[in-house]
Amino acid sequence: MNKQSVTVLGATGSIGVSTLDVISRHPERFSVFALTANSQVDLLTSQCLDLAPRFAVLRDTAAAEQLAVRLREAGSDTQVLAGEAGLVEVAGHPEVDAVMAAIVGAAGLAPTLAAVRAGKKVLLANKESLVMAGALFMDAVQASGATLLPIDSEHNAIFQCLPAGYRDLESAGVRRILLTGSGGPFRTTPISALQGVTPAQACAHPNWSMGPKISVDSATMMNKGLEFIEACWLFAARPDQVEVVVHPQSVVHSMVEYADGSVLAQLGNPDMRTPIAHGLAWPERIESGVGSLDLLKCGPLEFSAPDLDRFPCLRLAIESVAAGGTAQVVLNAANEVAVQEFLAGRLMFTAIPVIIEKVLAQSTLVEPSSIEVVQDADLAARELARQLLPDVRQR
């Protein structure tokens, strides 16, 4: 078997570490071409010494210099690159077969798009890049012939419930996509108590272990909003074809309903190694390290409608699809700023949707006709969000 040469963007994060766990179970199938991170020198050094990639990239230049010294001292042959240019180089390198896109946030857009444009097999965890540049991103997939495999557990579940080689929802006879979400840690917390929520409480997800940004997004349900947008782009679905269903047990990872009334679901333990292994080996199946789902012990499975008053971020995300233009770019950028401020202890949990709504209201939406337009809208929305912070902090 020819080994697949894999670049892992965001190797030191939650998805990155799970990806390396799956890869190291199958040394006959995969070799690691490049590992990247933002500034985590310690973890990236040990990952490089374990896996001996051709390249290691740190976004932060000073951190990259440190990494190079450490690797040289340890006798490693891994070549160190720095900055966005380094990330783009290892994402689109001719010797790479597959790219795990697992950088968090808008920082993932340029390298993920580089992998798409180079026609790679792209394992997409970085949902923000698709939220920001959906149409351009999907056009680039078409143009290059890249294989785009969803790693977000819900979208991976939907992909698994669609017929192999399906072209579009209509010809596949799909009536609806049922996008499940746990509702996060505050599904039943009294709304009056949400104001005092701390970053540690928001990051303590009941079912999934994830990086800090997506954990906060899960607590506000912005994560489900971003996933709603992601589903529309990935599967060319109209917003009325995607229904968000709250399912606190996170056993059903999403469902597809067909014209004949059949509903297909993908179930499993909540462990990202399942969708990661599915993407890495697709269309084959490999061992992921995830144990069997014990249906007799996972209790009753509950389903309910989301409460949009409790979770205004979900409402704002759904509305941004109807608003069109750069609304999704603005939503994503304002959310990233607000979540960062909340995690730093400078913004109340309940102020996150307030900032986003204000930024959306004050932004001029334009047609996202090029990546430059998207990046300009992203920067402008971040700037506006920062200007509005002092005002919103008083609340």
Contact residues for ligand NAD, defined by CB under 6 A:
10-16, 37-38, 40, 59, 102-104, 107, 125-128, 152, 208, 210-211, 213-214, 272
For the CB of residue 201, give the shortest distance to ligand NAD in the complex, in Å. Answer: 18
Does residue 152 belong to the site contacting Mg ion (CB under 5 A)?
yes
Distance CA 67, CA 92 (A): 22
Instruction: Kindly tell me which of 227 and 392 has the beta carbon lying closer to ligand NAD.
Output: 227
Task: State in angstroms the smallest separation of the CB of 149 from ligand NAD.
Answer: 13
Instruction: Let me know how long the chain is.
Output: 395
Only segment of 56-64, 146-154, 241-249, 305-313 that touches Mg ion (CB under 5 A): 146-154
Q: Is the dihedral of CA 346, 350, 354, 356 positive or negative?
A: positive
Task: Name the strands in the sheet holding 79-82, side by side, starting at the edge strand that comes first in the sequence.
Answer: 79-82, 55-58, 30-37, 4-9, 98-101, 121-124, 147-150
Note the Cα 238 to chain centre separation in Å: 21
CA distances from 375 to 32, 56, 60, 298, 328 (A): 30, 26, 20, 44, 12
Rounded to a whole number of angstroms, the minimum distance from the CB of residue 313 to ligand NAD is 14
Least distance between Mg ion and beta carbon 259 (Å): 26
Whole-number Å distance between alpha carbons of 364 and 378: 12
Q: Specify which residues 148 forms β-bridges with.
A: 122
| Cα gap 82→15, rounded to integer Å | 21
Euclidean distance between CA atoms 82 and 377, whole angstroms: 26
Per the CB < 8 A criterion, the answer to whether 312 and 224 are in contact is no
Pick between residue 169 and residue 272 the one whose CB is nearest to ligand NAD. 272
120 binds, among Mg ion, ligand NAD, none (CB under 5 to 8 A by kind): none
Minimum Å gap between C-beta 334 and Mg ion is: 20
> For residue 53, which phi and psi values (nearest 5 degrees)?
-70, 160
Question: Which CB atom, from 37 or from 161, has the smaller least distance to ligand NAD?
Answer: 37
Q: Which does 211 bind (CB under 5 to 8 A by kind): Mg ion, ligand NAD, none?
A: ligand NAD
Choices 142-150, 151-159, 273-281, 387-395 (CB under 5 A): range interacting with Mg ion: 151-159
Task: Please report the sign of the dihedral spanned by the C-alpha atoms of residue 365, residue 370, residue 374, residue 376.
Answer: negative
Closer to ligand NAD by Cβ: residue 59 or 224? 59
Closer to ligand NAD at the Cβ: 91 or 392? 91
Nearer to Mg ion, 86 or 134 (CB): 134
CB of 227 to Mg ion, least distance (A): 5
Q: Point out which residues bind Mg ion (CB under 5 A).
A: 152-154
